[in-house]
Amino acid sequence: MSLFGFGKKKEEKPCCSGGCNCEGTANTNTSDTKGADVKILGSGCAKCNQLEANTKEALLKLSMDTSIDHVTDFSQIAAYGVMTTPAVVYKGKVLAYGKVLNSDEIAELIKKAGG
């Protein structure tokens, strides 16, 4: 008999829904094979919608034909490690969060990220 759970073997569970190679921490660099390369994280407020519009403009400037997903589910947003929205994610990497970037700033971040 163990007191307060000491001596019990802890059941190891994946930190997420599985399929990642992490060890107990959230996989913030989730390169989804399905879905869009660009994601806007936010509740759907005016700032989030403005960031999405600026991102579309940046993609046009870069001549990139990429779809954009707008993620509004807070558990999915938190999985990226983002606690302040709006945020821009490109190929699973959070480029910026907490402010509305203009299209030139977004284009520059995408270029630096390999876009």
Q: Which of 15, 16, 22, 45 is catalytic?
A: 45
Q: Is 16 assigned a catalytic role?
A: no
- Which residues have C-beta within 8 Å of that of residue 45, sequence separation ≥ 6? 86
Give the residue numbers marked as catalytic. 45, 48
